[in-house]
Amino acid sequence: MKSEFRLYLPKDAIIVGTVGMRILKHFNFTIDLGNECLALVPTKSRFPSKKPNRFDFWCKEDGSVRRLGVGGVAEKAGLALGDKVVSINDVTWEAIGLEAFNKMAADSETLRVVTLEGKNLVMTIIENEKATE
């Protein structure tokens, strides 16, 4: 048990404070009030809960960027959390939708993403393994 818990903690660091979902999501827990203890059992699933796509970004249903891989090609190309996707590969977000976007992100080598940043439309070209703008 101790070695399993250690997998999710920073190496050689002293942790002080509360344990957040970043760590707890890897465990099922049981609270035993009679014995005043908490038991943690590693879950069988592996995280992250979202399967990574080639471009390291994920959108909400409305097309706004909800997750961004740190140091990933999308971030390097200039995409930011909260950016509103207007179109991908010259097709509007309304015509694509979330499900088709996820498939496109899994199958494409390059994405041309147009986002709305304030009142400006910005086109970002994101290539698998490298990024240009």
Query: Does residue 108 register a pLDDT over 70?
Result: yes
Render pLDDT for 9-61 as a digit per residue (tens, 0 to 9).
Answer: 666 655 555 566 666 767 777 777 777 777 777 776 544 555 667 888 888 89
Mean predicted confidence (pLDDT) in 71-91: 87
CATH number of 57-132: 2.30.42.10
Is residue 67 within 8 A of residue 58, CB to CB? The reply is yes
pLDDT at 130: 42
Q: Note if the pTM is more than 0.95.
A: no
| Cα-based torsion angle of the residue sequence 13, 18, 23, 29 in order, rounded to the nearest 10 degrees | 130
Q: What is the pLDDT of residue 50?
A: 58
For residue 68, what are the CA distances in angstroms to 28, 42, 82? Answer: 27, 26, 10
Classify burial at 26, counting beta carbons within 10 Å of its beta carbon; exposed 0-12, middle 13-18, buried 19 or more: middle
Closest to 71 (Cα-Cα) out of 45, 52, 50: 52
pLDDT digits (tens, 9 = 90+) for 94-107: 998 888 888 888 88
When computed from its CA atoms, the radius of gyration of the chain, rounded to whole angstroms, is 20
Domain definitions of the chain by residue range: 2-42, 57-132
